[in-house]
């Protein structure tokens, strides 16, 4: 079975930037779980995205939203085909052997 390797490191790339040290503000921000601003989506769109059966007429009323979600779904679909880098399992086993 062919599986697309979407590991971005297979392409030429620039080095990753060093992550900066975490600040107390960052830690608080990541833990706070503030609900971000939202645009309410029609229930039919949620149902459709959840894989539930939705009448065509309900969806036609949400064409604009669906167009965006079609594009997002294309991207998440690509991400879902990512596979573990081939060398990683061997690398883990070799680390275990070193223990």
Partner 1 sequence: MRRTGFDRGDRWGSALSATRWLGYTSVVPLKTTEPTHTDDPLDADQAVIDRVLAGDRNAFGILIERYSDPLYRHAYGMTGSADVAEDILQVSFIKAFHHLAEVRGRFDAWVFRIVANGCKDWLKNIRRTHLSYEEDDQPSGLETPEEELDRGEMRRDLDSALQSLPSSLREAFVMKHVEGRSYEEMAELLDATVGALKMRVHRAREALQKLLEDRYQ
Please say which residue, 61 or 91, places its beta carbon nearer to partner 1: 91
61 is a site residue for partner 1 (CB under 8 A): no
Longest dimension (CA), the chain: 62
Cβ 83 vs Cβ 3: under 8 Å: yes
CB 60, CB 66: distance < 8 Å:
no
Do the Cβ atoms of 70 and 76 come closer than 8 Å? no
CB of 36 to partner 1, least distance (A): 4
Exactly one of 2, 24, 61, 93 binds partner 1 (CB under 8 A); that residue is 93
Least separation in angstroms between residue 61's CB and partner 1 is 13
Q: Does 51 bind partner 1 (CB under 8 A)?
A: yes
Look up tokens 């997002």; give the residue: 72
Q: Which of 2, 24, 48, 61 binds partner 1 (CB under 8 A)?
A: 48
């Amino acid at each position: 079975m062919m599986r697309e390797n979407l590991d971005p490191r297979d392409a030429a790339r620039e080095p990753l930037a060093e992550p900066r040290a975490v600040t107390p503000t960052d830690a608080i921000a990541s833990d706070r779980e503030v609900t971000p601003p939202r645009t309410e989506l029609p229930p039919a769109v949620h149902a459709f995205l959840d894989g539930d059966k939705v009448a065509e007429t309900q969806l036609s009323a949400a064409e604009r939203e669906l167009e965006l979600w079609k594009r997002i779904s294309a991207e998440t679909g690509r991400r879902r085909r990512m596979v573990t880098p081939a060398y990683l399992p061997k690398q883990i086993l070799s680390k275990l052997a070193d223990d």
